């Protein structure tokens, strides 16, 4: 299996890759408009078993397929991998039966040296799955019965090598999805703010609490590190690929400073296809308004230039903006 080029899959000591035991999905929100899985399936028609039919039976729908032959792949990886689970699907899609997810979690539990990251745009289903009181037993049973030679007794729950996250792209979906994510039992709960398509106020979503439940966001040292309602990691990025929508720098800086204030580790992945204009740029500029309706006090429109994802990178911060070099991870990665 090929290594992944996704930047956040490379914490020190790990090789990044994608694992796709399930493929297929349906679009749920504006962040899906230029879905990477859809683009991939059109370019490589047979890669995930669609035989060119990914778009059937409707333009926004791909049949959900369970590739059981891929299930045992993690057992064969010798060195520690950081694995994106279902990079071309949504593990918690409504058409994915819970028994499939239990099988996948059983494989994850039996492969503690690898780190698995899952993302969903359906956190309500993730929550329903994870909070069910019998789930731990079902996953244990699955592991014990399907791989008895590898099962060494009950494993910790929630699984220490599974990070669960949700994607948000604008204020509406941040307000809808992040509060649900904060209830999900997981060792690391993370927000993927990509593609960032508008300004988001993260104040309530990045709150920190003390042991009495008081809001102590920004008060370093007072946080209860075992607070089960806070987020543990935030990844930010603009959109790449055909038809990518540019990200206003102020949307990004606003998110970064909210995360900094709350002490949430941040990974800035990429500007996307367009980055802020710098001297010497010859390509035509694109003007990106801060919001649809310019409200008093809003930052001015940004001047961006489409140079492609590779050149745009993640380090440029011109025109008075500080360069961004944040590639942080939650402290205490899973022990191997």
Report how far residue 49's alpha carbon sits from residue 89's, in angstroms, rounded to the nearest whole number: 13
Cβ at position 77, least distance to ligand SF4 in Å: 24
Instruction: Give the tokens for residue 235.
Output: 């990844």
CA distances from 105 to 78, 90, 178, 313 (A): 19, 14, 22, 34
The nearest distance, CB 133 to ligand SF4, in angstroms, is 28
Angle formed by the axes of helices 123-131 and 171-181, nearest 10°: 0
**32 vs 231 by CB, closer to ligand SF4:** 32
Residues that bind ligand SF4 (CB under 6 A): 25, 27-28, 32, 35, 37, 89-90, 121
Cβ at position 31, least distance to ligand SF4 in Å: 6
* Contact partners, residue 66, CB within 8 Å, separation at least 6: 21, 22, 96, 100
Q: Is 42 helix (H, G, I), strand (E, B) or coil?
A: helix
Name the DSSP letter for residue 209.
B
DSSP tag of 191: E
CB nearer to ligand SF4: give 89 or 230: 89
Dig out the tokens for 250 from the structure.
């102020």
| Least gap, CB of 239 to ligand SF4 (angstroms) | 11
HSE-CB of 289 using CA atoms within 13 angstroms: 6
* CB nearer to ligand SF4: pick between 35 and 141: 35
The torsion angles phi and psi of 155, rounded to 5 degrees, stand at -105, 160
Name the residue nearer to ligand SF4 (CB basis): 95 or 227.
Answer: 95
Chain position carrying tokens 């920004």: 218
Closest to ligand SF4 by CB, 28 vs 128, is 28
Q: Least Å distance between CB 32 and ligand SF4?
A: 3
Work out how close the CB of 152 gets to ligand SF4 at its nearest, in angstroms, rounded to a whole number.
34
Nearest residue (CB) to ligand SF4, 22 versus 109: 22
């Amino acid at each position: 299996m090929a290594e992944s080029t996704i930047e956040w899959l490379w914490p020190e000591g790990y090789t990044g890759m994608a694992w796709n035991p399930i493929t297929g999905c349906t679009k749920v929100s504006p962040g899906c408009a230029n879905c990477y899985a859809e683009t991939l399936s059109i370019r490589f028609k047979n890669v995930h078993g669609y035989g060119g039919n990914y778009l059937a039976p409707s333009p926004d729908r791909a049949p959900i397929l369970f590739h059981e032959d891929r299930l045992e792949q993690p057992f064969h990886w010798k060195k520690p991998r950081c694995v994106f689970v279902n990079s071309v699907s949504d593990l918690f899609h409504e058409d994915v039966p819970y028994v499939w997810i239990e099988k996948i979690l059983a494989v994850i539990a039996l492969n503690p040296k690898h780190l698995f990251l899952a993302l969903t745009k359906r956190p309500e289903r993730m929550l329903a799955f994870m909070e069910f009181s019998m789930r731990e037993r079902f996953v244990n049973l699955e592991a014990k019965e399907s791989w008895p030679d590898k099962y060494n007794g009950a494993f910790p729950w929630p699984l220490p090598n599974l990070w669960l996250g949700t994607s948000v792209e604008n204020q509406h979906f941040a307000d809808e999805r992040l509060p649900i994510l904060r209830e999900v039992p997981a060792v690391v709960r993370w927000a993927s703010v990509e593609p960032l398509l508008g300004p988001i106020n993260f104040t309530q979503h990045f709150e920190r609490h003390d042991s009495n439940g008081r809001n102590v966001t920004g008060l370093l040292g007072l946080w209860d590190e075992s607070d089960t309602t806070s987020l543990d990691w935030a990844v930010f990025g603009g959109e790449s690929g055909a038809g990518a929508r540019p990200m206003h720098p102020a949307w990004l800086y606003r998110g970064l400073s909210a995360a900094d204030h709350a002490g949430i580790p941040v990974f800035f992945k990429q500007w996307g296809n367009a980055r802020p204009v710098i001297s010497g740029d010859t390509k035509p500029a694109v003007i990106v308004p801060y919001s649809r309706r310019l409200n008093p006090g809003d930052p001015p429109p940004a001047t961006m230039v489409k140079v492609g994802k590779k050149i745009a990178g993640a380090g440029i911060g011109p025109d008075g903006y500080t360069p961004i070099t944040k590639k942080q991870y939650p402290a205490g990665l899973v022990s191997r």
